[in-house]
Structure 1
Amino acid sequence: MARRTARPLQRTSAAAGAGCPCGLPAAYEACCGRFHAGGDAAPTAEALMRSRYCAFVKGDAGYLLRTWHPRTRPERLELDPGMRWTGLEILATVDGSTFHPRGVVEFRASYRGGALHERSSFERVDGAWVYVDGEFPG
């Protein structure tokens, strides 16, 4: 049975400085930084999505590629060094917990001059969450 969790829209700012760029209050090193460093794997699809957003903020293309499903992963990923991500809103999640093989996270990622609204699909590969692909709701 799919579980959809709607959350109150809460805009988080990468520039806030107090917490992780993903919007959670923990410091980067204790939050997404531990996933980026390779010591831990994200325990849920939402945690992986947050850490991937944070990797875009930090310009960590290697992490993005490592956490991309092998069947949909591009060979290379070039990030725009001029892109300034400014905040993340989690709009909804479907499944994606430690008990599910798949999950979906819908989010809005703001950047200077606009926003990206995506519904991302995630799956487990060898027990670890990976990004599969995304849809852009109209």
Structure 2
Amino acid sequence: MPQPIPQPRGLPILGNIFDVTPSNTWTSLKRLAEEHGEIFQITVLGRTIVFVASVALAEEVCDERRFRKFVGGPVVEMRAAVHDALFTAYDDEPAWGVAHRILAPHLLLTDETTMRGQTFVDMRATADELLAR
């Protein structure tokens, strides 16, 4: 039987707006994860945002066989300015496919080397190579 996603008690209309400190967002979200578990949600001005705070759950929701990339909300507005960039492209657009094929292999934590930062060295080299063209 499904269980509701944990959420801190919020205020009417404002929701959990005061549970996340804009100048220290990461620490605020880490504290919420420690209090509510590896999946939790907050509501801000009527919009619900779900967070996953574990590698296992992040891998689960990034499983492309079961989930699709969603471009909505403010990202759609950004799209008007930057068009089909990595974060604003729909997953069926050519730009997304190209970027995904280049970056995805480097983002997978498959061994100790990538976990220690080699991934980002490789990504920088790939980005430099693409910019040189």
TM-score above 0.5 = no
Higher helix share: 2
Higher strand share: 1
Which has the greater radius of gyration?
A: 2
Between the two structures, name the one with larger relative contact order (CA 8 Å, sep ≥ 6). Answer: 1
Please give the TM-score of this superposition, normalised by the length of structure 2: 0.23
